[in-house]
Amino acid sequence: SHLRGPAGPGQPTGGWWSGIVGPGLAIDTDRWYVVAPNMLGGCQGTTGPASVAPDGAEWGARFPYITIRDQVRVQAALADALGIDVWAAVIGGSMGGMQALEWGVGHPDRMRRLAILAAPAIASADQIALNSVQTEAIRMDPAYRDGDYLDAADGDGPHRGLALARRMALLNYRSPDELNQRFSRSWQSGISPMGDEGRYAVESYLDFHGNKFTRRFDATSYIRLIDAMSSHDVGRDRGGVEAALARVRAATLVVGIDSDRLFPVPDQRLIARHVPGSVDGGEVVVISSDYGHDGFLIENEAVGRELARLLDAAV
């Protein structure tokens, strides 16, 4: 989706950081020129599987395997085209945090400040396992047709597999406490779920968001982006993670969410301890939130305070 602004044509939801980026906000657009490119492999502008290939047909399943490092190479080319030699700051959360860290390691002279939020330096076995079952859910949908579905009629396509993959992901975006507080064991209707007809409210929540996601996202894009996250390892071909982190030259803020079960705080602690320019003496700023991984998107006051502190730092 887009960084900030209301929902509209092509954007069924509001901007994901509208409470952080904008006039007078933590990332103040009256002060800073903000660039937020869609990522390579996605389906919101930058080339992805639904884009037209040089032969005039859509890429579809022919779209190549990509890594976080590939995505950052594309972003660096964009910076070159814009005439930006050095960023005032590179900031990212979740997959964007992987990209931001790759910027810091792979292009250490091209930023003054770096912020990594709710992201790891390397994808763990647990994270790769979660990713694998999501992509398998899509591939097992008969409508996926080995990725050859882009000519399907409106309403057709691997929507069931994509919705199921999104439901799996949502379970790790939110925390157990938040789900219990919101839904407990409540029923979706007056019919008991202890049978074949009724449902629990939390099931309906997952269905709603899974189905909503299929209206704005391409299944093969989802697979390519998930695979890119599994590929993430800043230490690959660089002597390992610690040696790679030692390359970072920017003043670096590292933020974790205490209830994040997708990329838990130890992932951020590894980064903070090994980047030379930690603004917090090698410590992670831990934000308390009931919202799990999505806390970096929801806890605007706490996240904004830390980002403003970084941007105000003299470097």
Q: Which two tokens stand for residue 120?
A: 């790891």
* 286: DSSP letter: E
With tokens 């949908």, the residue in question is: 141
Active site (annotated) includes residue 293:
yes
141, 218, 260, 290: the catalytic one is: 260
Element of type H or E holding 243: helix 241-245
Tokens of 205: 């929540």
- What does DSSP assign to residue 196? S
Is 260 one of the catalytic residues? yes
For 211, the 3-state DSSP assignment is: helix
DSSP labels, 139-172 = HTSGGGGGG--TTSPTT-SSHHHHHHHHHHHHHH
CB atoms within 10 A of CB 103: 23
Residue of 94, 231, 259, 289 marked active site:
94
289 is catalytic: no
Q: Which residues pair with 8 in a beta bridge?
A: 11
| Active-site residue list | 94, 260, 293
